[in-house]
Amino acid sequence: GQNIDQPTEMTATEGAIVQINCTYQTSGFNGLFWYQQHAGEAPTFLSYNVLDGLEEKGRFSSFLSRSKGYSYLLLKELQMKDSASYLCAVRDTGGRDDKIIFGKGTRLHILP
Amino acid sequence: DSGVTQTPKHLITATGQRVTLRCSPRSGDLSVYWYQQSLDQGLQFLIQYYNGEERAKGNILERFSAQQFPDLHSELNLSSLELGDSALYFCASSGGTGGVQPQHFGDGTRLSIL
């Protein structure tokens, strides 16, 4: 079956670093995406990993280990505007269809 | 601005009714995806079209249907509406069908069933 797990909520302090974990089980794999979604708004693309390792993009980095079915999103120098939900999504190429499966998201609260 | 346009932004209707949600993808994108997001729920994938053809199907109810037209815009039809259909419906588009093709989301249509 397909399963993507992320913590429901996390809290961090402005200026700090936070790591949001995601584990997945899919019948096929062809890439993992991270999206940011502010309440009531559209998700926006943050990062994509298809090979093992770390991808860095400014204050945000994303890591993937395919053998462990594990990824994390690292946010540095947190700002109040980073308060949002962070969605982990996997492209599952197993089965009849190739589709992107989203986790339920991690709601990140930033405290001043 | 993602370049994906969804209309209407809000829709209020009653149980048993039928509505049509519309999506115009980013210029040049051939794939269109539809998602449903209920309160406290993740994005539930409904269906994907690529260049006019159905490409992948998710948890889409039989009461729901979609199509992609030759100009690549897409419509999602929801019929015999129930209270539980109240949700945000997002459309997303991407340039292809696989690989590193991030999806770009529209602002969504908020559907409220009374």
pLDDT for res A95? 65
pLDDT at residue B12 greater than cutoff 90: yes
Angstrom distance (rounded) from CA B50 to CA A52: 29
DSSP B107: -
pLDDT at residue B97 greater than cutoff 90: no
Q: Which one of A33, A89, A98 has the shortest CB-CB distance to B56?
A: A98
Measured in whole angstroms, the distance separating CA A110 from the mean position of its chain's CA atoms is 17
pLDDT for res A96? 64
pLDDT for res B1? 82
pLDDT at residue A98 greater than cutoff 80: no
What mean pLDDT do residues A5-19 have?
Answer: 97
Name the percent of chain A lying above pLDDT 70.
Answer: 95
Quickly state the pLDDT bin for A55 (edges 50, 70, 90): very high
- Contact at 8 Å (CB) between B79 and B14? no
For residue B8, cis peptide bond before it (omega within 30 degrees of 0): yes
Angstrom distance (rounded) from CA A90 to CA A1: 13
Count of CB contacts below 8 A, A vs B? 57
- Residue to mutate among A2, A27, A100, with most B CBs inside 10 A, is A100
How does pLDDT run across A70-94, given as a tens digit for each residue?
Answer: 999 999 999 999 999 999 999 887 6
